[in-house]
Chains A and B, each alone.
Chain A
Amino acid sequence: MTTALEVKNINKKYKNKVVLNDINFSIQSGEIVALIGKNGAGKSTLINIITKLIQQDSGQSKIFEKEKFDRNLIGVMMQENISLDRITVKEIIKLTRTYYRNPVSYQAILALSELQNYINHPMDKLSGGQKRKLQFALTLAGNPDLIFLDEPTVGMDAESRTKFWERIDELKKQGKTFLITSHYLEELEKVANRFIFLHNQRIIFDGSLAEMGKQLKKVQVTFNSELIKDIFNKLPAVLRVSELNHHYTLITSDVNSLITQLVPYLSAIDNLEIRQQNLDTLMDSLIRNEE
């Protein structure tokens, strides 16, 4: 089991403002890790440092325990699609293959892009979704073992997204490692086995979704009700209430007490559900803990 990525004491300042503060983590082969955090948290900067597009102020990162950084081992699916003019799909695939030591076959890359009927099409005339799929295929052209996905499914329709994550799963079974940034938290919940949460320039959480839930010990209780928010705010077991269009979400660390406290109001409550928090609310809770 090799360490696919090791990040030690990475610090980065930009114009006297700290962007990354003592970042440490390591990823083993075969993991699918999600890097999450609000906009401006430093996710892109961290990825740019790891992929050696920019330099850190101090600290180091290593890929597959190698002293020398080798771009043949990584694939980076950029957030924006490459859209070169006057060049066809066939040509860009063949060109990309020449960049790598052990590229995947032309047919395999073409199959991944699902653009078999567009090989002579200029790549900049493809639709947004097609460009994204091509981008993904080109990312894998070099048969990389460590793959960075930056907002991978933006611009894809629902069906393409599902297929995309199925492909990722297949690749993971082949032993490939993924580090993903995405704002589509519902997707990440289903796919990633580990979450690294970047907030205020530091890692405030690193672990699985279950660990996140356990650490916070909080549960969501949701229902619909015409009653006013104040009623639920006053319940002792309630930590937090949010309401949108009569749909209530209550956060509590003591489910049994809360249910007991809700009993008097049961006749005015519909669709009562108790669930583990999802990534969205867990992240919110973690942030509140920090502040």
Chain B
Amino acid sequence: MTNFLYQLEIDFKRIILRNPAFFMFDLAMPLTFYLLFTKALPQYSNTMQWKVDYLVSMAIYGILLGSIMTVAHTLSSDIDRKFTLFIDLSPFPKLMYYIEMIIIFEVLNLLCLIGIGLAGILVNNLILPTKVWILLLILIPIMSLPLVLLGILISSFKDSNVINALANILVFPMAICSGLWWPLSVLPQWLQKIGKVTPTYYISNLSNNILHGNSINYNSLVGLIIWFVVLVLALGISYIFTSKKD
């Protein structure tokens, strides 16, 4: 147990505490978009409701960035720096490494959420019941678990160039067609259909349910759970596949 905790402590220090760059990256783009649409282009955002909705969208976008780009980058960096090989050769179980990394990335996502949320509230004087904020702060990181798993799946490709390329290919199209950057309605029908099965769409939809006090959309909930199960299986298969071959 001590080895798990110490690994957690060290990884927290090197990935979060001593790493302001990534933290800023996950926050910068969403916040810039938010400020752009709420301050610089006020014709798009005349209602308080819109400002709150968009803040949540941008928060989820920040988490998407963190879960895929930061996760993929950190894990591929560990491979390049021979840390992964080091762990493979030691008695420390690889599964433990992945579990405590997931914990770290969830903490990163939470901090990202708090950062964007606070900035949004301060900039636009948003008011929302505390209960809703707390619920979102707890539930969005949980819902973003499939995204973190997706980030880990990408990092199993081993070649850091492939990993970075895949991360980029996944993140921006997903952000767009799941309606995070602008509403789904402006996209063509066929793109909307694709968008409606992305995990980010489900997360966004469920977050809006909570935000507006509506009942939970069971379609989205089931969809997200399916994504989670599929990704866990995919990771299992990828692990077995890579441990057999060269």
Contact = CB atoms under 8 A, between A and B. Distances in A.
Q: Do these two chains really belong together in a complex?
A: yes
Interface in B45-104: 77-78, 81-83, 85-92
Contacts of A81: 82
Nearest to A19: B246
A210 interface: no
B214 interface: no
Interface stretch (A21-29, A51-59, A245-253): A51-59
Given A51-B89, A71-B91, A100-B90, A85 B6 contact: no
Main secondary structure of the interface of A (DSSP, over half): loop
A87 B82 contact: no
Interface in A83-132: 83-87, 91, 94-96, 98-101, 124
Interface in B222-246: 243-246
A80 B90 contact: no
A86 B7 contact: no
Contacts of B14: 84-87
Interface residues of B, number: 27
A78 interface: yes
A151 B227 CA distance: 45
Interface residues of A, number: 29
Contact of A55 (B2, B19, B81, B244): B244
B91 A99 contact: yes
Interface in A53-81: 53-55, 70-72, 76, 78, 80-81
Nearest to A81: B82
Contact of B3 (A53, A98, A124, A138): A98
A98 to B, nearest CB: 4
Contacts of B86: 78, 82, 138
B18 interface: yes
The 3 A-B residue pairs whose C-beta atoms are closest, nearest first, are A98-B3, A86-B14, A71-B91
Interface of A: 14, 51, 53-55, 70-72, 76, 78, 80-87, 91, 94-96, 98-101, 124, 138, 142
